[in-house]
Amino acid sequence: MGIENRIINYTLSKLFFPKVVVIDKPGVIYTKQDRLFGNPITRRRIVYYFEDILVELHKETVKQIGPKKTAELWYKIGKDVGTRFLLLSKVRKPNHLLIQPILDHIFAGLRSGGQSFAKKVKFNPRKKTLVLEGDNNVFCRKTGDGSFFAGLISGIMSFLVGENIETETRCNCPANCRIIADPKFKKKYIPDFSELAIDKKYFKMNFPVPISIPGNSPSFSDMIRFKKIRFNKRGKPTYSNKAIIPGEPGMVGITYLRMSKSIKNIDKILTKSSEKLANDIFKNKFSTPKKIKETLNLLCVLGYGIPSYRNLKEELEISFKFPPYSKYNYDFQARILNGFLNAVYNRRLRLIKYEKTTNKIIFLYS
């Protein structure tokens, strides 16, 4: 190893990439990393989302606007998410010698969450090109469309390199996935940084101190220990054989915002796909009381907050303490919960409203 590489590796290990700590409490999951990319501290709230729900959303989008416009839409969503990822990290443009190891660090984090589109990473600092190769990646393995992850890489690369870098896919999902980033590619989309920026409430709302947790509330690690959450042969986390994908709360906020402007009936689509998923998970195994308990425990484990519910005369109130926060909306979460409740009670419930207080959100259904 040359002296230049030794200096780079020392810098990365001591300054840029110290150990990432995962804080896993019932209802609240986040990562904490000191001095990420030279910044004092970086924290990121994590929520797990079911792959099948996102896949159904993609399929319905294709039905409404066709595969070409669907691919364009998911590319834009991916680029927004990639850009927000680095905005949240407070990243400044690094020296070109550090881009390759920074990318390796980012992709290692993504792989730990079950994403396998970047098993091989080839970056050319002189040409500012990037080639990623993998297979059987979450989401696109079922949709056959790698546009979201292509957009994600475009957002990350553009931010690190300091100029717009678009990407193209050469995929045969799920057998193989190839994403190429090159500054020569025609401009597709430029994110609005002001729309994606992290607002002042993010850190206050997402990392409450102290947290009072009921003794019977389960955590993600509890579910792993009791083998309710498992990791398949490829390292993807699953619940009841359904893949779950970790993401920052703004990811689904952005997705809902973009989708609601492009397709019809997004609320019905999300509710229906969630209900279908819940019915598949329950499979008539539980009584209604056990189903509601299973639902609330599951959402708690996935990072939605600490749940409680009240069965009122005409309405059902579900609340979460310390819910994940983003400046966009809670509509995605509301519809996922709606679908599960439909499956629990075997009838069509309707979201009346939701209210957000400082450390709590209340959903009301009838």
The per-residue pLDDT for range 148-202, each reduced to its tens digit, is 999 999 999 999 999 999 999 988 888 788 999 999 999 999 999 999 999 989 9
Which domains are assigned to the chain?
A: 51-196 (3.30.1380.20), 208-365 (3.30.1380)
Lowest mean pLDDT across 71-80, 83-92, 205-214, 251-260: 205-214
pLDDT band at 7 (very low <50, low <70, confident <90, very high): very low
Six-digit token string for 317: 């109130």
Query: Strand ranges (DSSP E) for 192-258?
Result: 229-231, 237-239, 242-247
> What is the pLDDT at residue 31?
84
CB-CB neighbours of 48 under 10 Å:
22
Six-digit token string for 275: 């209900």
Nearest Cα residue to 111 out of 28, 231, 201: 231
Which long-range contacts (C-beta less than 8 Å, at least 24 apart) are formed by 355-360?
356/330, 358/205, 359/205, 359/208, 359/321, 359/322, 360/305, 360/319, 360/320, 360/321, 360/322, 360/323
Q: Is it the case that residue 8 has pLDDT exceeding 80?
A: no
- Residue where the block lists tokens 């501290």: 41
What is the average pLDDT value for the chain, to the nearest integer? 88
Six-digit token string for 193: 């940084």
pTM for the whole thing? Answer: 0.91
Across the range 291-304, mean pLDDT stands at 95
The residue with greater pLDDT, 40 or 92, is 92
Return the percentage of the chain with pLDDT > 70, whole number.
92
Six-digit token string for 363: 């959903």
Backbone angles phi, psi at 157, to 5 degrees: -65, -45
Handedness of CA 259, 260, 264, 265 (dihedral sign): positive
> What is the pLDDT at residue 196?
94
Return the percentage of the chain with pLDDT > 90, whole number.
63
> What is the pLDDT at residue 10?
46
pLDDT band at 357 (very low <50, low <70, confident <90, very high): confident
Rounded CA gap, 338 and 343, in Å? 9
pLDDT band at 240 (very low <50, low <70, confident <90, very high): very high
Q: Is it the case that residue 15 has pLDDT exceeding 50?
A: no
Handedness of CA 326, 331, 332, 335 (dihedral sign): positive
Q: Is it the case that residue 12 has pLDDT exceeding 80?
A: no
Q: Is it the case that residue 349 has pLDDT exceeding 90?
A: yes
pLDDT in tens, 98-133: 888 888 888 887 887 778 887 888 999 999 999 999
**Residue 59 Cα to chain centre, angstroms:** 19
Lowest mean pLDDT across 16-25, 333-342, 346-355: 16-25
Query: Mapping DSSP to helix (H, G, I), strand (E, B) and coil, where does residue 115 land?
Result: coil
